């Protein structure tokens, strides 16, 4: 009952000074809203990155020749020719953790159809590529193993290439198109994927048999990459190690020699982008938290003013038997009420802000429950921390001195 009465007294004091209380809450409201919005943007970005990379093939593994730049210094051209079809076959035959694998060669050029042309990249792969990239066909069919072996001049087109080289709404299957000067027959159109998180158009792509690109376009006997998919996401790290061991043996590298190739899984890419996103989120939250600190200082300031204004009231309460602990609790409850109410309004504003950001700014957001819980806890702690000292000062007042205060 005593606590209930103190709560009523604190609430009455807040209601009597509505404008001042609201202005005091502003720092808390803005701080909590900012923290929730920043965390929502961070979580949304991480989920968007993971979804985008998963659409590319979450268990995908890529093998590349020695990087063309290391430490800012460009390497020799020969280091880019360290992957061969023998390497691809060795991985295919010896690895037990891969479900699909393909060599990959690529070249940039113009896709030409009559008076229309479009700059794009042609990727030379085998029949397992679509399964690795988790891509479906919108129309037509995939080229066959026989067409790979005979270096047939057939291609699959992404929707962006179709729209720009043939026109929107046109199904080009069965028609001819040229890559630079070489004619190809269109045998399929890829399902649309749109832009990924990094702004890259996933539909601006042309796919052909790797033998065709290797022999008829590039005239090379090595390959640019080996792309594979692990049996599952959990097997990807072990698959990376296994592929690395196979290639080290294949390239006859000694223990003291560095790899002349690079093996990476999508999990590493996800981890890299997620850690960067987390760092930026923490930075934004740290900046937003300054508002909470300012709000806390505002509460302390207003409680000091309140103690000064009500010094005579405090003295009267003590004179009729009120204890110092009651005075302390009354002002502490008042500070916590201001802080928690501000926190509640901040949560509402924060949720509204995340909806606005997602709907009107087209930025992915994801509100985590923990961000709301933590915000409330921070508000309660802020009220107690910044309200305690003024409340303690009020409780320590001498009743006689307080009654004489003008």
**Concatenated DSSP letters of 180-233:** TTEEEEEEEEEPP--B-TTS-BTTS-EEEEHHHIIIIII--SB-SEEEEEESST
3-state secondary structure 334-348: HHHHHHHHHHHHHHH
- Following DSSP, what letter does each residue of 4-16 receive, concatenated? HHHHHHHHHHHHH
Distance, CA of 55 to CA of 288 (rounded, Å):
33
What token pair was written down for 380?
């309660």
**Cβ contact 341:316 at 8 Å:** no
- Residue 145 is predicted with a pLDDT of 95
CA 282 to chain centre: 13
- Residue 120 is predicted with a pLDDT of 94
3-state secondary structure of 254: coil
Average pLDDT (186-197) is 85
Distance, CA of 246 to CA of 250 (rounded, Å):
6
Terminal CA-to-CA distance of the chain, rounded, Å?
A: 32
Place of tokens 């943007």: 41
| CA distances in angstroms from 343 to 12, 15, 340, 367, listed in the order given | 19, 17, 5, 16
Sign (positive or negative) of CA dihedral 144, 148, 150, 152: positive
- Residue 339 is predicted with a pLDDT of 84
Phi, psi of 127 (to 5 degrees): -70, -10
| CA distances in angstroms from 183 to 113, 153, 186, 212, 324, listed in the order given | 10, 7, 10, 12, 93
- Residue 56 is predicted with a pLDDT of 62
Q: What is the DSSP letter of 81?
A: G
Lowest-confidence segment of 231-235, 263-267, 290-294 by average pLDDT: 290-294
- Following DSSP, what letter does each residue of 101-156 receive, concatenated? EEEEEEEEEEEEETTEEEEEEEEEE-TTHHHHTT--EEEE-PPPHHHHHTT--EEE
Q: Is residue 45 over pLDDT 70?
A: yes
What mean pLDDT is reported for the chain?
83
Please tell me which of 58-72, 179-193, 282-296, 323-337 the model is most confident about, judged by mean pLDDT: 179-193
- Residue 73 is predicted with a pLDDT of 45
Q: Is residue 309 over pLDDT 90?
A: no
Distance, CA of 147 to CA of 209 (rounded, Å):
7
**Cβ contact 260:253 at 8 Å:** yes
Distance, CA of 59 to CA of 82 (rounded, Å):
24
Lowest-confidence segment of 78-82, 106-110, 265-269, 271-275 by average pLDDT: 78-82
**Cβ contact 80:220 at 8 Å:** no
Give the start-to-end residue ranges of the domains of the chain: 3-53+272-404, 104-229
Average pLDDT (126-153) is 93
What token pair was written down for 366?
């994801």
Distance, CA of 364 to CA of 47 (rounded, Å):
8
- Residue 14 is predicted with a pLDDT of 78
Query: Tell me: the pLDDT tens digits for 74-119?
Result: 444 444 678 999 999 999 999 999 999 999 999 999 999 989 999 9
Task: Show the beta-strand stretches assigned E in 276-364.
Answer: none
Q: Residues 315, 339, 295, CA angle at the centre, nearest 5°?
A: 100
Q: Could you give the count of Cα atoms lying within 13 Å of 340 in the half-sphere of its Cβ?
A: 13
- Residue 55 is predicted with a pLDDT of 63
**Cβ contact 162:175 at 8 Å:** no
**60: part of which helix (H) or strand (E)?**
strand 60-65
More confident residue, 222 or 362: 222
- Residue 158 is predicted with a pLDDT of 94
- Residue 106 is predicted with a pLDDT of 94
Q: Is residue 243 over pLDDT 90?
A: yes
Residues in the chain: 406
Lowest-confidence segment of 51-55, 80-84, 191-195 by average pLDDT: 51-55
């Amino acid at each position: 009952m005593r606590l209930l009465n103190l709560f009523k007294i604190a609430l009455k004091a807040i209601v009597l000074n509505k404008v001042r209380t609201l202005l005091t809450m502003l720092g808390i409201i803005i701080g909590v809203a900012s923290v929730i919005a920043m965390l929502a943007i961070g979580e949304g970005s991480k989920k968007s990155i993971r979804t985008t990379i998963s659409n590319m093939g979450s268990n995908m593994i890529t093998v590349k020749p020695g990087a063309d730049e290391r430490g800012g210094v460009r390497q020799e051209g020969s280091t880019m020719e360290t992957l061969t079809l023998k390497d691809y076959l060795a991985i295919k035959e010896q690895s037990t953790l891969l479900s699909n694998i393909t060599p990959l060669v690529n070249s940039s050029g113009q896709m030409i159809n009559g008076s229309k042309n479009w700059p794009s990249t042609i990727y030379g792969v085998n029949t397992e590529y679509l399964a690795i990239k988790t891509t479906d066909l919108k129309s037509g069919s995939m080229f066959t193993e026989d067409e790979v072996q005979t270096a047939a001049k057939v291609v699959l087109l992404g929707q962006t290439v179709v729209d720009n080289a043939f026109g929107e709404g046109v199904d080009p299957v069965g028609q001819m198109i040229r890559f630079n000067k070489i004619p190809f027959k269109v045998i399929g159109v890829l399902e649309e994927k749109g832009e990924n998180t990094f702004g890259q158009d996933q539909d601006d792509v042309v796919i052909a048999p790797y033998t065709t690109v290797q022999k008829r376009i590039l005239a090379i006997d090595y390959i640019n990459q080996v792309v594979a998919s692990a049996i599952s996401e959990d097997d990807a790290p072990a698959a990376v190690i296994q592929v690395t061991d196979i290639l080290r043996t294949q390239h006859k590298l000694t223990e003291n020699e560095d790899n002349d190739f690079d093996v990476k899984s999508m999990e590493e890419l996800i981890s890299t982008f997620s850690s960067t996103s987390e760092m930026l989120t923490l930075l934004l939250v740290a900046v937003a938290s300054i508002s909470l600190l300012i709000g806390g200082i505002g509460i302390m300031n207003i409680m000091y003013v309140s103690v000064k204004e009500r010094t005579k009231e405090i003295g009267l309460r003590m004179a009729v038997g009120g204890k110092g602990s009651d005075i302390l609790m009354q002002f502490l409850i008042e500070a916590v009420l201001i802080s928690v109410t501000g926190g509640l309004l901040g949560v509402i504003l924060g949720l509204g802000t995340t909806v606005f950001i997602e709907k009107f700014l087209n930025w992915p957001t994801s509100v985590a429950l923990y961000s709301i819980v933590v915000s409330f806890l921070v508000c309660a702690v802020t009220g107690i921390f910044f309200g305690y000292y003024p409340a303690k000062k009020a409780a320590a007042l001498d009743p006689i001195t307080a009654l004489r205060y003008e």
